[in-house]
Amino acid sequence: MKKIWVLLSGLLVGLLVIFAAIGCVRTPLRASEFQTLMLPEQPSMKKLVYGRANDSITLDPANAIDGESFKVTRNIFDTLVQYEPEGGNLQPGLATSWKVSEDGRTWTFYLRRGVTFHDGSSFNADAVKFNFDRWMNPNHPYHQGKFNYWQYVFGGFPGLVEKVEVVSQYTIKVKLFKPYAPFLASLALPAFGIASPQGIRHFGQEFGKFPVGTGPYRFKEWKKNNYILLEANDNYWANTVRLDKLKFKVILNNKNRLKELERGSIHLMDGLSPEDAERVKNNPKLQLYFRPSFNVGFLAMNNDKEPFNQLKVRLAVSYAINKEKLVEKHFAGLAKPAKSLVPPSLWGFNEEVEPYPYDPERAKQYLREAGYPEGFQTDLWVMSQPRPYFPQPSEIAKSIQEDLAAVGIEADIRVFNWETYLEKVENGEHQLALLGWMGDIADPDNFLYVLLDKDNAQPGRASNIAFYRDELIHYWLTEAREKTDQLFRSRLYRLVQEKVHEDAPLVPLVHITPALAANRAVKGYLPHITGVESFASVNLVSRQDRILQATPPGSQ
């Protein structure tokens, strides 16, 4: 019996040696794969933490005007139509299909069935009508707030929309006063996320703190200036949610945010300083993303205030700023000097507009002709936290301050936090102010009408913070909105850019390619061209899964 036991023991040891040898037949680990093995275990609860520089202002999409708010609301609310994850093509959202009348004035939407809001109430045509009525009708009992985006896009209250009719439980018609070419694309804006009527009635003016939508994540908690926590909507109609929780955490400083990412306390971050892109690229635990350049950063001159109501003063400022130095010094090769508000990648961009060259002597000449031979004093406003188009806003302001001082314009820099800053520039309290725009839709109207039309130069809710008002510009922009012929529209937008260049109400500064960084555990994340994306398909991959991914096929 003893001999048999020894024999069996020897056989068992031999088999273990063979199995161990088979298990070890794999290619040597690279350094990056070794780092993967060293990363800590992911908890069974998948919670992704997104680090950003600013908190949201509101979580009511209809009253939001800033990207920080939309980053969150995009994941709580769905729109009737939405953009594909990687680009500008539209696809069904809460509407499964749609059609438009021959005159371009009546749109019929066929709605998705079986969808519920996070509070358990039903999504249907009545809910859609309630949202439209709230957006467009200032007498609606829940039209509480400014509803800026409705004004920016649809031109006032009710603006372009004549009425909204319920055809059946899952069919709705929207009738326009006149055709509006970007109408369908505009409905994909996160500002027009469909909210729960029951939730709006329940929370009233507090709805921006307790949002209720149909999106992939439901609201859980908001610690102001600290974090917003969302949790998975297990009943999401698209059935794609892979994370259990999604947390948006405020970390003011770019460098500190990157340290937190390297430490592993956050998984994804935006506002990466351009000079740190190489640092991320060389870190085997991280991955680097670049958002497509679909933005503009600019210096607005308040045309309502002296001396910027004078063309020659505005021309002097235009010639005084060294954009090439600005890009070289603060953007580490991730930006290009701008000559128009329209990004070069967008149709309708006028490549024939010649940018104002850096010419301090010509700037001084214009100041003399304007009656300011010794220059003048002014204020230069800047936001305190980074923005996608200005990753180092204070440093950029200092560079502009130096350029202006060289021609005799003494600019006192004034810094405000993001929420206060937006409120003040909307009111037109500034003289000079740095701001920018991330395109919402792939249409020049979204840049030119929003930022330059007289309709949007109303103090208190202005998006045209240069307060530039020109009747010919207004006529061209209005004509372009009402026509569907893209070639005709493109010609009008080219004319707009030429005249705006001549009038110089603001100084286009840069078009940047924003950099983002993430832990390698993050999978399925695609930076969207608009700067706002859904996390419905984003996942955190476990250490074990990543080990398998690091092992070449056939090596086991």
pLDDT at position 45 is 80
Q: Which helix (H) or strand (E) holds 389?
A: none
Question: 130-135: which pairs have CB atoms within 8 A and are 24 or more residues apart?
Answer: 130/197, 130/200, 131/62, 131/192, 131/194, 131/195, 131/197, 132/161, 132/164, 132/174, 133/164, 134/62, 134/200, 135/62, 135/192
Place of tokens 């520039």: 425
Give me the chain's average pLDDT, please. 90
- In this predicted structure, the answer to whether residue 23 has a pLDDT above a threshold of 60 is no
Alpha helices in 301-392 (DSSP H): 311-320, 323-330, 360-369
For residue range 337-368, what is the model confidence (pLDDT) as tens digits?
Answer: 999 999 999 999 999 999 999 999 999 999 99
Best CA proximity match to 182, nearest among 347, 353, 340: 347
Here the CATH number for the domain that contains residue 237 is 3.40.190.10
301 lies in the same domain as 428: yes
492 lies in the same domain as 526: no
How many independent structural domains does the chain possess?
3
Query: Helix, strand, or coil here: 258?
Result: helix
276 lies in the same domain as 168: no
329 lies in the same domain as 464: yes
Residue 362 lies in a domain: yes
385 lies in the same domain as 309: yes
**pLDDT, average across residues 148-177:** 96
Residue 46 lies in a domain: no
Q: How does residue 297 score in pLDDT terms, banded at 50, 70 and 90?
A: very high
Q: How does residue 5 score in pLDDT terms, banded at 50, 70 and 90?
A: very low
Q: Residue 402: phi, psi to the nearest 5?
A: -65, -45
- In this predicted structure, the answer to whether residue 26 has a pLDDT above a threshold of 50 is no
285 lies in the same domain as 334: no
Residue 73 lies in a domain: yes
Alpha helices in 434-503 (DSSP H): 445-452, 471-482, 486-503
122 lies in the same domain as 238: no
Q: Which of 209, 244, 261 is the last residue of a domain?
A: 209
Best CA proximity match to 185, nearest among 445, 489, 474, 532: 445
CA-to-CA separations, 310 to 55, 254, 297, in angstroms, rounded: 37, 38, 23
pLDDT at position 329 is 94
pLDDT at position 24 is 33
Buried b (16+ CB within 10 A) or exposed e, 96-126: eebebeeebbebbbbbbeebebbeeeebbbe
Residue 11 lies in a domain: no
Contact 364, 370 (CB under 8 A): no
**Residue range(s) defining the domain that contains residue 151:** 54-209
Q: How many CA atoms lie within 13 A of 16 on its CB side?
A: 6
Q: Which of 188, 209, 230 is the last residue of a domain?
A: 209
Q: Residue 6: phi, psi to the nearest 5?
A: -60, -40
For residue range 460-514, what is the model confidence (pLDDT) as tens digits?
Answer: 999 999 999 999 999 999 999 999 999 999 999 999 999 999 999 999 999 999 9
**pLDDT, average across residues 56-63:** 98
Q: Which of 166, 189, 209 is the last residue of a domain?
A: 209
End-to-end CA distance of the chain: 38
Residue 7 lies in a domain: no
Instruction: Name the residue type at position 514.
Output: P
Here the CATH number for the domain that contains residue 333 is 3.10.105.10
- In this predicted structure, the answer to whether residue 17 has a pLDDT above a threshold of 50 is no
Residue 384 lies in a domain: yes
266 lies in the same domain as 230: yes
- In this predicted structure, the answer to whether residue 21 has a pLDDT above a threshold of 50 is no
Q: How does residue 44 score in pLDDT terms, banded at 50, 70 and 90?
A: low
- In this predicted structure, the answer to whether residue 99 has a pLDDT above a threshold of 90 is yes
Best CA proximity match to 159, nearest among 172, 142, 174: 174
For residue range 209-240, what is the model confidence (pLDDT) as tens digits?
Answer: 999 999 999 999 999 999 999 999 999 999 88
For residue range 414-433, what is the model confidence (pLDDT) as tens digits?
Answer: 999 999 999 999 999 999 99
336 lies in the same domain as 478: yes
- Asked which of 199-213, 268-282, 313-327, 539-553 is least confident by mean pLDDT, the reply is 539-553
Alpha helices in 264-337 (DSSP H): 277-281, 311-320, 323-330
108 lies in the same domain as 91: yes
223 lies in the same domain as 138: no
498 lies in the same domain as 544: no
pLDDT at position 240 is 86
CA dihedral sign of residues 424, 425, 430, 435: positive
d(Cα 478, Cα 262) in Å, to the nearest integer?
49
Q: Which helix (H) or strand (E) holds 118?
A: none
Residue 17 lies in a domain: no
pLDDT at position 89 is 86
pLDDT at position 14 is 41
- In this predicted structure, the answer to whether residue 286 has a pLDDT above a threshold of 80 is yes
Q: How does residue 543 score in pLDDT terms, banded at 50, 70 and 90?
A: low
Here the CATH number for the domain that contains residue 101 is 3.90.76.10
* Beta partners for residue 99, in sequence order: 108
Tokens representing 154 are: 């649809």
Residue 4 lies in a domain: no
Whole-model pTM: value is: 0.85
